[in-house]
Chains A and B, each alone.
Chain A
Amino acid sequence: MSGTRRKQEGRWAWRLTGFVTVCVYIFMFAPIVATVILSFNASMFGGFPMTGFSLQWYGKLMANDAVLAAFRTSLWIALVTAIVTTAIGVTTAFALVRFEFRGKQALSTLVILPALVPETILGVGLLVLIKAVDQPRTMLLLVLGHILLAVPYVVLIAQARMIGIRRVYEEAALSLGASRFSSFREITLPLLIPAVVGGALLAFTISFDNTSASLFWRPAGVETMPTQILSMLKISISPEINALGTVMILVTVGIPLIGGLILQSLTKLRRRGEPKEETQ
């Protein structure tokens, strides 16, 4: 029967879709899982087979001054980037959603460009500018560069959330005598919190992860975590790198996950406090 055959075809197509999906997920996570497993390998060489369970590579890592210094550098660069990017990104998103001004369209296109222009080009461009005005590469330059790379994402996330917040709430506060700033702080900002936290976390990971542009921008002698990994990889694949990778995964996956969980429980608490839905 052609009817049942067609149904059969549909089922096979669906099975194929599911199969490819499973393969893609395995493809995405297999190398990461292999790295985590290998970080506990007792073997001297950074590879299979497993010869036993050992934490020695983590111990070695903790004694590696270059790695620790790079970790500290990356950590504070990422923190500063997250804080500053969130502050300026959220105000920009607020202006882009609430206000009408000339050049708004151009600005909203310009603001996502750093996410689309290859980092190599951004990297070289800034270096050429610095060279043209005869300035040295400084930490400030590196941090501002990271902020540039993270700004598009923070603005886009805040904008998406901002559109869902009706302006009547702010205007009501204003008409009741609140100042511009306090209406933003008391009304808009609390409603924006998910976007603020999400944007800050993303800005943190973008900075903490950044490799290509940092290779160009870092001051002489400074290593961030990714550039440190890169220079370690040039020498050899030691099991220490697998341990380092595992620690990094814990930091960069753990922080957003914990942040997300905190956020979720916070909104749940708030929901319980005020049973009425806030938006729309």
Chain B
Amino acid sequence: MLMKRRWTLYDPRLAWMLVAPVLLLLIFFLVLPIAVMAGYTFFTFVTAGVETSALTTANWHEFLTDSYYSGFLVKTLRVGAITALLCGVLGYFPAYFIWATTFRHKWLLLLLLIVPFWISFTIRTFSWINILGEQGVINVALLKLGIINEPLPMLYNEGAVILGMLHFLLPYMILNVYVSLESIDRTLISAARSMGCTSAQAFREVTLPLSLPGLAAGLLLCFVLAAGSYVTPQLLGSGRDALFGNLIYDTIMGELNWPMGATLSIVLFIVLGFFAAVYTRYMGMSQIVKGLGG
């Protein structure tokens, strides 16, 4: 007869029982779908909504040869990179300000950064129509002041898409940089100052390098989220500003071409995964974990 081992205080078996629900969810809703999707990229597309399991490389061939797809990919990566860089530049100032300020109600500034996370993303995105649209604040004000005679076309272009993404990604960036600034030992800066550094030098030599992990985590997060976005180009862009996410949605929900949709999803997954892997290779996961709310 098999002897049952007695359960120890921190028995691994108990740990597995505790993580089982989440583990099962991750396997069936994350790992398995992506694996099946990878298999689907080799299925044959017959007609809208119909495919056979006859294996083919036609989808990959089409993706790799048709410049329509690579054009989308390049545009998506470009928009993602521009957005992430703008976030980095614009987000560093507030993060530094909140960290360094002697303002008594610092918590309020931090709370205001978290509030946007609570407001529906769709609402935050469409609210830009009230600012940039033909009847938006800017156009109405400029028309009233007589500076322009016709409303400026500010919506439905790439700039508006980037602006919308900037709007939703800036809190991520600011919080990431702030978390990393918070972990700096402030005596290092006083030491630098006491040894004759100007405040600018102390910033350049001590504060900035030590906050780079947070900046890098923020850049990765903003880039991945921007490059994977669907709603923002849909609401603030024209058809020409569609990004890879929109292409995937249209391929699957519009053309009902599931094998091609799966191929495009896997491509996006691999490309963004590549950037994330390069990042973790040099920075590790911990900074992302901290930035996400840990």
What is A's interface to B at a CB cutoff of 8 Å? 6, 9-10, 13-14, 16-18, 20-21, 24-25, 27-32, 34-35, 38, 45-49, 88-89, 91-92, 94-96, 98-102, 104, 107, 109-122, 124-129, 131-132, 144-145, 147-148, 151-153, 155-157, 159-160, 171, 174, 180, 202, 205, 208-209, 211-212, 215-216, 225-226, 229-230, 233, 237, 241-242, 245, 248-249, 252-253, 256
Contact = CB atoms under 8 A, between A and B. Distances in A.
A20 B90 contact: yes
B29 A157 contact: no
A118 B289 CA distance: 17
A125 B33 contact: yes
B167 interface: yes
B19 A47 contact: no
Contacts of B225: 118
A116 B220 CA distance: 10
B36 A88 contact: no
B126 interface: yes
Nearest to B53: A132
A121 B33 CA distance: 9
A124 B262 contact: yes
Interface string B115-126: 111111111101
21 contacts: A17-B100, A20-B93, A21-B93, A24-B90, A31-B128, A92-B22, A95-B15, A107-B23, A113-B26, A114-B30, A118-B245, A118-B268, A118-B269, A121-B268, A124-B261, A124-B262, A156-B294, A160-B294, A215-B253, A225-B120, A248-B123
A237 B133 contact: yes
Given A31-B127, A117-B30, A151-B22, A124 B120 contact: no
A148 B135 contact: no
B188 interface: no
Given A10-B200, A112-B288, 8 more contacts: A20-B94, A88-B22, A122-B30, A125-B30, A209-B122, A216-B252, A230-B234, A233-B235
Given A10-B199, A202-B293, A17 B97 contact: yes
Nearest to A226: B122
Interface stretch (B6-14, B55-63, B67-75): B6-14
B97 A21 contact: yes
Nearest to A115: B292
B25 interface: yes
A212 B252 contact: no
Which range holds the interface residue count of chain B?
35 or more
Contacts of A124: 37, 248, 252, 261-262, 265
Contact of B117 (A38, A151, A205, A245): A205
A104 to B, nearest CB: 8
B192 interface: no
B16 interface: yes
